[in-house]
Structure 1
């Protein structure tokens, strides 16, 4: 795939004297997503201690239902969350979401039974749904097209940073106090973040800290603000977004990417322990390698993409190169099962996870690229995230079913994941259209 140059003038650099409020917004979005994932992973780490203290005698199936309750609510609310964010804006939607999920995090110690933990986990998932659409919409308004990939990479890396930090933070709090405080402390920190987000966030046109040079730079270089909206495009209904082939391609492609990523969020520790024989100490060190390399790779890819676009490269070519190449690299999960060396397996797994994280930088840039107007960015983000999290429900189950069928052999599961990565690469290459605002379609007859 060649990287053609755009026929339009290449994006300009920010002028001297322009304020840099957008980077404060970016840092806040990153912290918000990190808190989101810390609270999401909290119960997964604390559950063995909870079960032991309360003597719940939960079966593995019941533990799975408690942990899975989050994803049923999270995915079920995702379509509404995107629509809601576009209606009320990132300031209010992200604040409401953070207050909701932080409150239910803090209330978790009040649960004393299977159904109590199931209910609080379900409520937590419902509250976390607006987080990604809110952050995506905020980035679309504050970052021009030529800075969007890096901004997206930073925001999305919050999910990996939060997941990696959950184990040492939660276990550390439990070691110093009890499991109750892990929920109380993280819930309180989430409420603090929500307060500062509500106080600090405004769209560029309303933010008193941003000067006219920064606002003009964002608007002139592809920031999705009300000033850049086409009047007819604003009228496109939410339901009519499903009439576009590109939207369906984004849904299928993101489903395929998350199908593989959820291995790293669910079965990866089991693989290291049972397939590779690592002990607890080794699990805590070697297990961090793919996640940490994924953060570095995604930030680097985002910076490279933005630099290429500022140099005049075609936005569609850059986005597709990263998405297709990233998913092709994600198929490196298969050779990880075929090599005998632990270190070679970790290298292949790090390549796979890092490649998928790289692809995600372009995937999360797409809603702002293709939205018909700024009032559709969060909706499209919610739609593709809804599809991707269906994979979060299906993928862990299929991995487990194949492990049962093949007596703990991971090769068939990894082959399935590699196949899904290839399907995703094909979808982004040939089904998703150009990275530009979708045209207004004629009304249905």
Structure 2
């Protein structure tokens, strides 16, 4: 496959770097601020640890179970309308978090925040499908992922600084207003169809059209198509592999700080620095892999070669270095292994969101929502499962081994996905 020379200046890349990247970053801050503020809120309102766990997980449940409806709405309404309304909704409930004073109040508010954010990811991936030719989608998705993963790196220290200077409520005010402003900018500058954008050039339109999927021929798919997806084993394999990926990723997002302090004897100060290092590796890796995958696709013209080897290898590497790191007593070497492990998760993440457009075609939003449902369902259950295993066995080795085995299952599932065969192309057969 010969790669077409890209236009020097592209509206599509400006949309990604100047709107989607900061919008996604602010969305991640809306999640981080509750985690950081939780000890202060718990103390102020005299909540028990169990009550705080209900508050902290209430977002995850609505966010997970509304992923598919959010994807369907992004297809029906278009990403411009869906993401703008979703953004204004979650920004409002971010601000309204400040009026919470009871467990039920906080649970309800955070649950409603999850309702809004459920449409963000499907709408964002759907917009990438419309604005980017196939050989640029991995890089575009890496920008989207970069905005999300920047949150764990600088979100905590930024939120702490705001809380210490102004109080915990001001973090919610600031992030809520910033999110609403980004939503308004999205409405002003984004268009669902590139040809409708007033600033786009004929050269860029031609570039996008030249690398567009021939299978995407309609604006939206019907409910019959959704039924065929459900009966397709590749659709299930694609969703389940993300469930297994987030099992291993949730160790780093939820339990790594506790593991470093309880199992490895880190101080609180050193833990804060060390626990951010794997996220730096993940942040860098998604950009590296995005560019690498696009190179492979441009050279080979094969989505199978550009996605599956990266995803399968990422699962195996993530599992291997998680186990190796947990067995090493030398601190810096242990952290290096954990950085490689979470960095390898980035190899899978880039593959997943690019494959959503490869498989989904007109139903990219639905396929994205399907995958993200399984991932967030895993994110809600995984930390609880890990806590139970650690409590029963009094060590971390068993739970980490289970995560590693799950990752190997995820690698095997990628052999069934076949990104080079769009699900819509097999509408006449449920055994595609």
TM-score by length of 2: 0.94
Structure 1 338/400 Cα, relative in aligned 2: closer, same or farther at 3 Å?
same
Q: 1:313, CA displacement in angstroms?
A: 4.9
- Does 2:418 correspond to 1:433? yes
- Does 2:374 correspond to 1:387? yes
Structure 1 88/294 Cα, relative in aligned 2: closer, same or farther at 3 Å?
same
Q: 1:279, CA displacement in angstroms?
A: 1.7
Q: Secondary structure at the match of 1:435?
A: coil
Structure 1 99/232 Cα, relative in aligned 2: closer, same or farther at 3 Å?
closer
Select the residue among 30, 37, 49 that pairs with 1:39.
Answer: 30
1:22-171 aligned at under 5 Å gives the runs 22-27=12-17, 28-52=19-43, 54=44, 56-171=45-160
Select the residue among 339, 346, 365 that pairs with 2:328.
Answer: 339
Q: 1:234, CA displacement in angstroms?
A: 4.3
Match of 2:266 in 1: 278
Confirm or deny: 8 A CA contact 1:11 1:309 kept in the other structure. Answer: no
Confirm or deny: 8 A CA contact 1:19 1:211 kept in the other structure. Answer: no
- Does 2:408 correspond to 1:422? yes
1:184-223 aligned at under 5 Å gives the runs 184-202=173-191, 203-222=193-212
Q: 1:65, CA displacement in angstroms?
A: 0.9
- Does 2:301 correspond to 1:310? no
Confirm or deny: 8 A CA contact 1:136 1:378 kept in the other structure. Answer: yes
Q: 1:280, CA displacement in angstroms?
A: 2.2
Q: 1:223, CA displacement in angstroms?
A: 5.4
* Unmatched tracts of structure 1, length 5 or more: 1-8
2: CA distance between counterparts of 1:78 and 1:241?
Answer: 16
Aligned residue pairs, count: 425
Tell me the alpha carbon deviations over residues 225-253 of structure 1, each in whole angstroms, 9 at most, x when there is no partner.
Answer: xxx63469945532322122221111011
* Unmatched tracts of structure 2, length 5 or more: none
1:324-335 aligned at under 5 Å gives the runs 324-331=312-319, 332-335=321-324
Q: Secondary structure at the match of 1:365?
A: helix
- Does 2:237 correspond to 1:252? no
C-alpha RMSD over aligned residues = 1.8
2: CA distance between counterparts of 1:206 and 1:232?
Answer: 14
Q: Secondary structure at the match of 1:251?
A: helix
2: CA distance between counterparts of 1:266 and 1:126?
Answer: 22
Structure 1 252/38 Cα, relative in aligned 2: closer, same or farther at 3 Å?
same
The structure richer in helix per residue is: 2
Match of 2:384 in 1: 397
2: CA distance between counterparts of 1:233 and 1:194?
Answer: 23
Confirm or deny: 8 A CA contact 1:83 1:238 kept in the other structure. Answer: no
Q: 1:47, CA displacement in angstroms?
A: 1.2
1: CA distance between counterparts of 2:299 and 2:272?
Answer: 42
2: CA distance between counterparts of 1:397 and 1:261?
Answer: 14
Tell me the alpha carbon deviations over residues 15-54 of structure 1, each in whole angstroms, 9 at most, x when there is no partner.
Answer: 5xx64001112122121211111101111100111222x2
Q: Secondary structure at the match of 2:66?
A: helix
- Does 2:12 correspond to 1:12? no
1: CA distance between counterparts of 2:330 and 2:134?
Answer: 43
Match of 1:267 in 2: 255
Tell me the alpha carbon deviations over residues 53-95 of structure 1, each in whole angstroms, 9 at most, x when there is no partner.
Answer: x2x2222211111111111110111110010111011111111
- Which moved further from structure 2: 76-85 or 230-239? 230-239
Q: Secondary structure at the match of 2:300?
A: coil
2: CA distance between counterparts of 1:11 and 1:244?
Answer: 32
TM-score by length of 1: 0.92
